[in-house]
Amino acid sequence: MDSEALGKYSALHPKPAGLSLQYGTAGFRSKAEQLDHVVFRMGLLAVLRSKALAATIGIMVTASHNPEEDNGVKLVDPLGEMLHPSWEEYATELANAEQQELQKVVTEICQKAAVDLHKDASVFIGRDTRPSSKKLSQSVIDGIQVLGGQYHDYGLVTTPQLHFMVCCQNTQGQYGKATLEGYYEKLSKAFMELIKQSHCSGECQRHLKVDCANGIGALKLSEMKPYFPQEVLLHIYNDGTKEKLNHLCGADFVKVHQKPPGGLDMKPNERCCSFDGDADRIVYYYKDTAGHFHLIDGDKIATLISIFLKELLAKVKQNFKMAVVQTAYANGNSTRYLQETLKVPVHCVKTGVKHLHHKAQEFDVGVYFEANGHGTVLFSKAAETKIRQLVKEEKDNEKREAAKMLENVIDLINQTVGDAVSDMLVIEAILALKGLTVQQWDALYADLPNRLLKVQVADRRVIDTTDAERRALTPPGLQEKIDALVKKYKLSRAFVRPSGTEDVVRIYAEADTQENADALAHEVSLAVFHLAGGKGAPPQP
């Protein structure tokens, strides 16, 4: 390690005094002007991780659905998955080290993780469309070069595209070609093969309005348009030419505010969807003839995909284990529908994509979506191999056709991470194949009315939870109080959990009517305020 170069370059990316940041599920997120030293140091860390694993590592500069003035950075592991938890700790240590300790921290990481500094390193870099992203990705490159790493800068890409390309590179092209063209070709080919089997291919035009959150999704969807068949007509809104990223638009805005984004005119019963700022989340929605807004969130997306996959799996007659993975935020009626009507096992895990992804890997076919629209489908190696074998060798027509459709789904879904573009194409294909309108999809089940609230507390760590965050262990008496409140309402449940990023406690409540869900959420928020050290004035109804 060239300590002189490290000292010289890190002085060009100084750490602001007193700033301390934590690497979480989404990597680092903060105001863009606070991140220069962090992204430089993540360039260093990516080189160390690459040398430790003898594989290409990804670095994405994005803050997803955060406001435009924020930014962030996260690392991508070799198969396109999120950074290993043990290295999240190294990331936090490195980001918070004082200038004079930097070399010592790098050396300690090398010792702890058995990094051989003489090995080669390769890093793929991507960034979103924020004004600050270009300069920050240049700082990443400085970090990579100080430790002698090689890099490929893909420039402007969606987060899932970078995950895809890292996976392609490390599977020696088995997953696909590590280029944007490779991504577009793989997805469009699988999509066209799938919709060929729909009854109205040819004369049946499929219109979809897409709100791209004024972000990277607009650029990449436009690039992909020439790859689509004529009957798919995507109309792109909030393309970033006029308004700010994520401002009054995007998947997060639509889900939280339960209303359509600005910049998109909706006619009754038109299918519309929204991406988030880095295009790894998607939600659908429409307005009915009475002008009422209907949101189709991640729970309903998971349900649609599960119905389709379950039918195909029944036709191939293999003993594949399928399950859906949700968090406590999943609507109670979605869980009921999956378990009781569809007879698909449902598993609940802690909030955070890494927990969902990890659990979904336990099954032959694991469907996971967060209610916010982030999700995908994972196929086990054994299931994928068997399905591809059936396509080649199966004599029975029905079995072979079903296997062929499953193979196309495997190629269309981005198994590395939730991907708005890929998920959108899977949904569009299923709706076409099943001849479903957006209203029929929505009518599978009615969401239970619910309410999300948050309460400011002096220290979020006073709340400890168990049972996939559905029950509070501490402070004493809180869970008993929640249980008593829940008993007052029909079809009700409520839970509280500490935020991962700020001193607030998040509250979720659902019940048979909106009025009751609101009342229950408010009563639980008062209990949290009084028993868990609330700050400021008590919550008002």
CB 157 within 8 A of CB 216: yes
Domains annotated for the chain, with CATH where assigned, are 3-156 (3.40.120.10), 182-294 (3.40.120), 298-420 (3.40.120), 450-532 (3.30.310.50)
Question: What are the tens digits of pLDDT across the range 338-384?
Answer: 999 999 999 999 998 889 999 999 999 999 999 999 999 999 999 99
- 96 among annotated binding-site residues: no
Question: What are the tens digits of pLDDT across the range 3-16?
Answer: 888 999 999 999 99
200 pLDDT more than 70:
no
pLDDT at position 181 = 97
- 25 among annotated binding-site residues: no
Which residue, 415, 359, 352, is CA-closest to 160?
415
- Window from 89-93, 137-141, 198-202, 241-245 with minimum mean pLDDT: 198-202
Q: Where are the beta strands (DSSP E) in 109-252?
A: 122-127, 150-156, 206-211, 232-237
DSSP per-residue string spanning 306-353: HHHHHHHHHHHT----EEEEEETTS-HHHHHIIIIIS---EEEE-SSH
- Mean pLDDT of the region 307-330: 96
Question: What are the tens digits of pLDDT across the range 474-497?
Answer: 999 999 999 999 999 999 999 999
- 372 among annotated binding-site residues: yes
Please enumerate in sequence order all residues whose Cβ is within 8 A of that of 7, keeping only pairs 6 or more positions apart, or say none. 102, 103
Question: What are the tens digits of pLDDT across the range 23-51?
Answer: 988 899 999 999 999 999 999 999 999 99
Please report which confidence band the pLDDT of residue 204 belongs to, taking 50, 70 and 90 as the band edges: low
- 10 among annotated binding-site residues: no
Instruction: Please provide the average confidence, as pLDDT, over all residues in the chain.
Output: 94
- 336 among annotated binding-site residues: no
202 pLDDT more than 50:
no
Active site residues per annotation: 64
Q: What is the pTM of this model?
A: 0.94
257 pLDDT more than 90:
no
pLDDT at position 310 = 97
DSSP run (H or E) holding 287: strand 282-287
- The C-alpha atoms of residue 321 and residue 325 are separated, in whole angstroms, by 13
203 pLDDT more than 70:
no
Tell me 99's DSSP state.
G
First to last CA, the chain: 59
pLDDT at position 43 = 98
- Mean pLDDT of the region 292-297: 96
pLDDT at position 500 = 74
